[in-house]
Amino acid sequence: MKAVILVGGFGTRLRPLTVNTPKPMLPLVGTPFIEWMLTNLRDQGIDEAILCVQYLADRFRTALGDGSRLGMKVHIIEEPEPRGTAGAVKHVAHLLDDTTFVFNGDVMTDLDLQAMLAFHRAKQSQLTIALTPVEDPTAFGLVETTAEGRITRFLEKPKPEEVTTNMINAGTYIIEPHLFDDIPANQHYMFERGLFPSTLQKNHPMYGFASDAYWTDIGTPQTYLEVHQDIINGKVRFALPGSQIKHNLWVGSNVSIAADVAFHGTVVVCDGAQIAAGCVITGPTIIGAHTRIGAGSAITASVIWQENHLGPDMVVSHSVIGHRNHIAAGVKIHNSTIISDDTVIAGDNAFDRGVRIWPGTQVAAQSISFS
Ligand code: GDD
Ligand code: MG
């Protein structure tokens, strides 16, 4: 069975992490999210995936190729310009001839796809949307259904006073191929504001498949950190990399950890990482491949990508550090700070309250402090 994955977005809410890395390629515990997603689809019976790419398209080509490494067929198709969610599918419709799954490429879920397909067939649905409950539907597509699941209304990004249910579009669809004829060609067109409302108006049967599967949109710094906590706490199926050497510690190959380093909570140390004497690492934390942490540093509930040189005597808590940064002794990084890639940060700086440091930034000593 074939699936289309929408991965063309700019990942604006995750900038500057997404300046060099498209959102679906962001590492989750050291592996690009899209690889987890493709493997999950493959394990659930999808053998061919068409990725609709736009922003930083080459990153997908280099990482995934034709998909053979992952044991499935992958096509990477670039739009000439962003065509919107439905316009992107129209652009690849020549590859589709049967009932098709469509996925938003920034949603982590272990939804049972065969159960959803069985529901779609049992209801003789033309278009089925997976639904999930959320606390605040205003950032999503609100979906009203009858008790049998037939969709009666779809409202993208409702205003607070328009919220009538907590069930939202979870970003997984099953679509009958004749509906691709209803998407205008060569123009920007959205499922959420175009095809869904117009299919409802035509009275074609559209159903919502509600489930209590794990579900998170990884599209904000907050949810990106939360997904890591959920993975590490075992809330979603995910094979942690490396070997489990203690009940709370997973390490990759060629790792060097000084004898007195203390670990609390669950920590993953990826291949080639080095952690010097006297560090205290508190989970859920991921230390990326070939990252070096100097002596006496304290890292808490943070995600650190590859090839960083940090410390000594640093403090990092509840923050994300991207690729190849050089951060000097004594720097303090707190509270949802994002340091992206290739920065050089001299000593005696302190970052707090969601500050975001763009790629290539150089910060001189004692120039940033929050106290
Ligand atoms: N190829 C391509 N071209 N992909 C696109 C384009 C485009 O022009 N625009 C968006 N995408 C991709 C994004 O990369 C993302 O994977 C997906 O489509 C959804 O776009 P977002 O920008 O993440 O939308 P959202 O999170 O605000 O809302 C969507 O997802 C919610 C669930 O997470 C909507 O589908 C909501 O209805 C839904 O509730
Ligand atoms: Mg999204």
Per-position DSSP letters for 35-57, written without gaps between them: HHHHHHHHHTT--EEEEEE-TTH
Q: Which residues contact 187 (CB under 8 A, 6 or more apart)?
A: 83, 87
Which candidate, 69, 7, 57, 65, places its Cα nearest to that of 33? 7
Residue 321 CA to residue 195 CA, distance in Å, equals 39
pLDDT score for 7: 95
Residue 27 CA to residue 35 CA, distance in Å, equals 9
What is the distance of C-alpha 146 from the center of its chain? Answer: 31
CATH architecture of 2-223: Alpha-Beta Complex (3.90)
Left if phi > 0, otherwise alpha if psi is -120 to 50, otherwise beta: which for 204? beta
Provide the residue-wise pLDDT of the chain in tens; the chain has 371 residues.
999 999 998 889 999 999 999 999 999 998 999 999 999 999 999 999 999 999 898 999 999 999 999 999 999 999 999 999 999 999 999 999 999 999 999 999 999 999 999 999 999 999 999 999 999 999 999 999 999 999 999 999 999 999 999 999 999 999 999 999 999 999 999 999 999 999 999 999 999 999 999 999 998 888 999 999 999 888 998 988 999 999 899 999 999 999 999 999 999 999 999 999 999 999 999 999 999 999 999 999 999 999 999 989 999 999 999 999 999 999 999 989 999 999 999 988 999 988 999 999 999 888 777 65
Closest listed ligand to the CA of 55? 1
Residue 252 CA to residue 332 CA, distance in Å, equals 27
Ligand 1 pocket, residue 132 CB under 6 Å: no
Ligand 1 pocket, residue 169 CB under 6 Å: yes
Tell me how crowded residue 342 is: count the other CB atoms within 10 A of its CB.
16
Rg, C-alpha atoms of the chain: 22
Ligand 1 pocket, residue 106 CB under 6 Å: yes
Left if phi > 0, otherwise alpha if psi is -120 to 50, otherwise beta: which for 254? left
Instruction: Indicate the pairing of strand 262-264 with strand 280-282.
Output: parallel
Q: Where are the domains of the chain?
A: 2-223, 243-370
Indicate which residue's Cα is closest to atom 35 of ligand 1: 171
Ligand 2 centroid–CA 171 distance in Å is 8
Instruction: Give whole-number Cα distances, 325 to 184, 293, 315, in Å.
Output: 45, 12, 15
Instruction: Give whole-number Cα distances, 293 to 161, 177, 347, in Å.
Output: 49, 52, 15
The gap between the terminal CA atoms of the chain, to the nearest Å, is 55
Ligand 1 pocket, residue 171 CB under 6 Å: yes
pLDDT score for 130: 98
Three-state DSSP state, 61: helix
pTM of the model: 0.93
Decide if domain 243-370 falls under CATH 2.160.10.10.
yes
Residue 101 CA to residue 371 CA, distance in Å, equals 50
**Residue written as token pair 């061919």:** 48
> Quick one: which atom of ligand 1 is closest to the CA of 217?
33
- Residue 244 phi, psi (nearest 5): -85, 110
pLDDT score for 370: 64
Ligand 2 centroid–CA 217 distance in Å is 6
Ligand 1 pocket, residue 79 CB under 6 Å: yes
Residue 294 CA to residue 285 CA, distance in Å, equals 16
